[in-house]
Every structure is written in C-alpha cells, then in structure tokens.
Amino acid sequence: MLRRMTLKDPEARKWANEKQLSVVFSVILTKSIERYGLGKLKEARERNFQSLLPPGDGREEDLRVLADIAMQLLGPPQMTEAESAQAGFQALLARGAIAAPTRTVRSQAPVREPPPLFAAQLGSPGDRMGKMMPKFQAPLPGAPTSGANEPDKPFTDFPTLFDDTICAYTEKILSIFRISQPSRGLRLPFLLAPEFGVAYREVLNKFVLPQMRQTRHMQTLAHSYNWAEVGGEKIIEIMQGSEVNNPILHNWDARWASFRGAKAPKGKKAPPQKPEDNPWPLFREDATRSNYEPPNEDNLILLQDLIRFEADVMAKCWRELSQLYTQEFAPSGRMDQAREGAFRDGLMKWTSKLPDYVGEHLAMRAHFEFERLDGTWMRRLLANFGRTDSERRRNAPFLTEFVLQLSD
C-alpha cells in the first residue's frame, strides 16, 4: 500500500523517478517477504498472491512485483505433469505447421547454474561449515591439484592446525572475490587480484598468526580441547561465535590494530613502525609486481573482517547472481527469461544484506566474469549507490575508483 501511495504522490517524484522508487520498494518488499517466510510465500503464489494483495486499484502491478520477488526467492513455479503437457500442447498449436529448417551447426548452450540454495537446504551450521571449509590448507592459485578430494593431513600440533585452518578459511573467502578472467590492463582492487591471496597468506604467517598464538588466551585455548579429535572445525566454530570474550577474534583484531602507525606528536615526526608490525611494504611490493591496488591502513577493517565473512552465504550469493545474469542476458528459452534489471536488483539486494564493501566487490568481479556488463552498465550501476558523486564515493569507494578506469 505504501508503494502504491508513493508512486502516485507528485511530491515523491521530485526526489526520485519511478525506476529508482521501484528499486527501493523491491528491496523493502523482498526483506519483508523473507521475514514473512518462504513457505508462506510459496503457498500464497499457488493462490495467485491473493492473501498478500491490499485492496483498491493497482492489483495488476502489485501482482507483477510480487511475482518477480517470488521468482528471485523461490525460482520458477513448478508445473504439474498435466499442466506441463498442456503448456507444451498449446505451444505446438500456437507455432503451427512450418517447413523443416535447413540443418545448421549450433553451439552448445551454456550450462545453467543450479538454483540458489537456502538455509534449510544447506543443512545445519556445522554441516555447512564442513562443506565450505576444509580442515587444513586450501591450495593457492596455480598450485597443482589432483582434482579429487585430498585426504586430511594428520594432526601434528595446535599451532599447525590453527594456522592452516585460518589460512584455509580466508582463502575460501578470497576465492569468492577473485576474478578468473584477464584483467584487461585495469589496475584491480586488491581483493579481486588472483595474486593477492598469496601475499595475504604470507602476512598471516609472518605478522599475524604466530604473535596471536603467543598470547595467554590463545595458549589457554590450545590446551582446552583434544584438537586431534575435534579438528579445525572447532576453531571455526569458536571464531564465528559470540564477539564477546572471543579469544580468537580479540587477539586477531588486536594484532591488526598494531599495524596502524602511531600519530605524530605536534611539531614532531611520527616514530617509525617496528618491522614486526609493518606488513605494508610486503603488500606494496606484491601489488607493484602484479599490478593491483595495494591495501593500506584505510583498509584495515576490511582486511581483518575477512574471517568474519560467512563463506556459505557469500557462495550462495554468487550462485544466485550467476543464475540471474543467465536468466536476464542469456536465457535458454522464453520461459526462463528474467525481466530487465533483475540482475541489478539482485545485486543491490545482496549489497544491502552483506557487510560493507562486499557488494561492490562482487559487482566488479561480475564485470570480468559476465561479458554483457560493460563500462556503460557499470556506470549505471554506480548511480544506484547515491545521487551525487560524493554520496557514491562514500557508499561505494572501491567501485567508484574502478569505474573511472572503464571505457564504454
């Protein structure tokens, strides 16, 4: 009802056009329906959404909006066998008799991504964690792999288990940001660069993890469990638990905070950082060799929050975005065609759900992975992050700098 009133209100049109208002209400309605419950939404769709429609005029447009949101959250409605046969028969009748076409060589249609998995399908948190995070070290880019599941490394000691588990989890997160296509000469943000994962692991092993393990809280943790039995999953469980009195997060944050340079007293030069508290030269050297934008002190929060990102949620996000792109830009048939703007709306929806900076980085990765998202499309996307340049730079700083490099 609020959406109807706003779209009809002349005052509302003074600060936003219909397209912008539709994007706003699409996000609001999507969040409301998620709280309403996917099971109830499925039942409402089977009854043509009658229980969700407000009275009055505009029900056709409301039906269209609800159908679009249901398509994003539930996928296409399942037809019964009789309905499927009837639909196929009607399609044949509508087509009519046509001459047999000359034989042509057709390229194979792209493989469609599976529909996005929701929490109920992913299983319990422990199951999801086990699927998304190996117990020990994940292979780095370019490292040889057998293609099969490697057997778990035998337990040796807590320091090895702890370091390998943290490094493997952060590598899983970085792999979701990393591009697999050529950079086309663009200077990438560090999270997108394939080489950045190697430098980040080196910083962890040299500047972060050994110092963490020397603290009293971590030494107590080392003797609190039979680590040969519980394995690395217990480390991830503790890490993703409460922020209060969390020994891993507390010492992790303290270690990254030590990399911030001391402020100079008035009229004096700032004291130099200790070598053991200064990973920035390592990042800068690697970025120079590999042509990406190195992280600096302004990016400390993003660097230390990588272990707070939920790997299963981000993987689900990327699967859904891949599916929306295929449905909008490369559908396998008319029945699979998504409406114009479905991919953009899905990206903005996830941007509002995920932590700061994550959505804009996934948008930049999509520019390289999906060929239809050219420079013009990316500039239009950036406009969704604010009405002025300063607002867009504040809400999406990485995407703003990236778009300035793009041509049409």
Evaluated on CA atoms 249, 250, 251, 252, the torsion sign reads: positive
Give CA–CA dist 125/234, Å, rounded: 12
Rounded to the nearest 5°, which phi and psi values hold at 262?
A: -70, 145
CB 280 within 8 A of CB 225: no
Label residue 253 exposed, middle or buried (CB < 10 Å: 0-12, 13-18, 19+).
middle
Q: Return per-residue pLDDT of the chain as tens, 408 residues.
A: 887 788 777 777 677 777 777 778 778 888 788 788 877 887 887 777 778 878 777 777 787 788 778 777 776 666 556 656 676 666 666 665 555 445 444 444 443 443 443 333 344 444 444 444 443 334 444 443 333 333 456 778 999 999 999 999 999 999 999 999 999 889 999 999 999 999 999 999 999 999 999 999 999 999 999 999 999 999 999 999 888 889 999 999 999 999 998 887 777 787 888 999 999 999 999 999 999 999 999 999 999 999 999 999 999 999 999 999 999 998 887 777 888 999 999 999 999 999 999 999 999 999 999 999 999 999 999 999 999 999 999 999 999 999 999 986
